[in-house]
Amino acid sequence: MRYVTAVVVLALAFVPVIASEPGQPLDCSDWVAVESGYSCSVYLATTTCDGWLNRWPGGNVEVDNEGRLLRIRPTGLDTPCGGATRTDVVVLQGGIETLIGYFSDRCISPITSGYIDSTENTTPCTSDEGVFKFDRIDGRLILPLISHGVNPPATVQWVAVINGFTSAAEIFQSFEPLQSALGFRVPAQPEGLPAADSFDTYHGNLATLPDWTQAQPLQCDYPQTSPSVGDYLTVADTLPDPAPGSGRYYVTAVHHQEETRFGRQFIGGALSGRNPETLPVCDWEPR
């Protein structure tokens, strides 16, 4: 039996996501992913206004690598503290709008007339609203935000990066702790190939790199039918945690017709594609 799924990241330790402390400005720990595979990281955080933050090259209309329109949508909320706002990241395709994830204002003290930790999609150091940029190469949304905390009063201007959109070429692998699964979104041109017929995912001991002959198959020749751009592929990772002081890597190879590719390498000051002939034959059967 073959499983329609597959792939991803580095493995050392994974901990559950915990929201920021009440009263403090919101940050990436407050990101709520509605769709699988989307995560948040901080590109920049500052309390001052200088340099390029004063010239943010943002816009309010972007298109991702799947041809979907991207939008940042403020949604009003009713809370015990009074009116609050949720900052939604949404995509529009074929007239259907899908919520990717959001940052939500947080009610702190309803009794003392509405203390709210809040965030807004406003260009750092300017008053422009509704601005963001889409990085087509890496498949990520770059989102300027201003977060306000109330205990004590504090304001942080920062830029969030929402990762997990379809990239142009790289296979960006990620790990979802709650599902113990590896996953990635099929790129528009996986590893520079015009399309993907199937994928193989391997794992191995970090200490053996860059000797790819010691890689071990995790899942082979998936999915059952040729994937489409933007498909989110996952595979269960049932391997035990690495021993203390050691680590594990995961790597995914893509096949298209007679070609196989699995990323690039930088050795001795030279950048080159990895040689697919160094990978063992992927021969995997589910247990």
For residue 284, what pLDDT is reported? Answer: 59
Q: Taking residues 142-160, what's their average pLDDT?
A: 91
Is the pLDDT at 2 greater than 50? The verdict is no
Task: Please count the other Cβ atoms lying within 10 Å of the Cβ belonging to residue 224.
Answer: 11
Taking the CA atoms of 179, 181, 186 and 192 in sequence, report the sign of the dihedral they define: positive
Q: Which pTM value belongs to this model?
A: 0.80
One-letter identity of residue 62: E
Tell me how far apart the alpha carbons of residues 169 and 166 are, in angstroms, rounded to a whole number.
9
- pLDDT confidence tier of residue 188, bands split at 50, 70 and 90: very high
**How, if at all, do strands 96-104 and 198-205 pair?**
unpaired
For residue 113, what pLDDT is reported? Answer: 65
- Decide if 182 contacts 175 (C-beta within 8 A): yes
For residue 176, what pLDDT is reported? Answer: 77
For residue 7, what pLDDT is reported? Answer: 33
Question: Of 139, 57, 43, nearest to 91 (Cα)?
Answer: 139
Is the pLDDT at 28 greater than 80? The verdict is yes
- The pLDDT mean for the chain works out to 86
Q: Taking residues 215-227, what's their average pLDDT?
A: 94
- pLDDT confidence tier of residue 31, bands split at 50, 70 and 90: very high
- Higher per-residue confidence, 221 vs 45: 221
